A and B are shown apart, each in its own frame.
Chain A
Amino acid sequence: MTCRELAELLFEYIQGELDADLCEHISRHLSDCPLCVAYMESYRITIQLTRRLPPAPVPPELAERLQAALRSFKEQEGSEF
């Protein structure tokens, strides 16, 4: 297995979607290739960092705009509210 082949299989490897035979090939490659170990670990960290992104606050201008849109909609809806 080459480093590129391992990189192609990372998604399924991390998801646990590969069969035992391929997992064994990957484990053997990793035990002998520190570059691929670093590559796989940084792939995992990339996912983790993204999952921890905080939401951006709604800009005050947008909040005002939404309030105006809501008021306008309610007026169109007449006596519903």
Chain B
Amino acid sequence: MGLRVFVRLVTMANMEADGKPLSPEEVFRQYAPMVYNLARRMLGNDADAEDVTQDVLLQVVRKLDTFRGESSISTWLHRVTVNAALAHRRKRAHRAEHETHDPLNHFLEDGHHAHSVRPWSIPPDQEILDQETHQLVEKSIAQLPEVYRDVYVLADVQGLPNAEIADMLELSLPAVKSRLHRARLLMRHALAPHFEEVLT
């Protein structure tokens, strides 16, 4: 029954233009990219992301009883994926530890910038990322400490509201904002050498 209900719920929100409901295969195909991308960015590892994607799509089917319909399928899938990724990370035998680095250390004791800051040469309204920029941003995300990466991926990649992220990660709203700000500062610091205008 689980799969049937799941398919029906998804179908209600995702009828094709001709009104035909999506098949189970289409449902899996439609939602696998979102689940896979979120898991891959949270875990920073393709193999782990593939395991999580399979777990989530099957888990979604089994956990339908807990879905009360008050949130959209997309919100629900985000939540299930986040939980699965966090559980997968906890199970890792050799978890990669990142040095938690305070981006505000790049200032002197008197509060001034420790190094020169130059404008970036990339136009802020560039609509499509070139392959090199795309890879740089992905790599920088993967190098964020996990404590910041989770919030950053959910907020700035997935575009979820901070309150929803706080709920998913069981954090206070101020903690989400603080982590997101630090993640953005770390990302800025990681990307700066690649985009700062070269002095002539």
Contacts and interface: CB of A to CB of B under 8 A. Distances in A.
Interface of A: 2-5, 7-8, 10-12, 35-36, 38-39, 41-59, 61-63, 65-67, 69-70, 73-74, 77, 80-81
What 5 A-B pairs come out closest when comparing CB atoms? A2-B111, A11-B181, A4-B107, A4-B111, A35-B117
Nearest to A39: B117
B138 A53 contact: yes
- Interface hub of A35, A50, A63 (most chain B Cβ within 10 A): A50
Contacts of A74: 3, 24
A43 B183 CA distance: 11
User: Interface size class for chain B?
Assistant: 35 or more
9 contacts: A3-B112, A4-B111, A36-B113, A45-B122, A49-B133, A50-B157, A53-B134, A56-B40, A70-B57
Nearest to B122: A45
Contacts of A69: 54, 57-58
Given A59-B46, A81-B24, A66 B188 contact: no
Interface string B1-38: 11110000000000000000000110011001110110
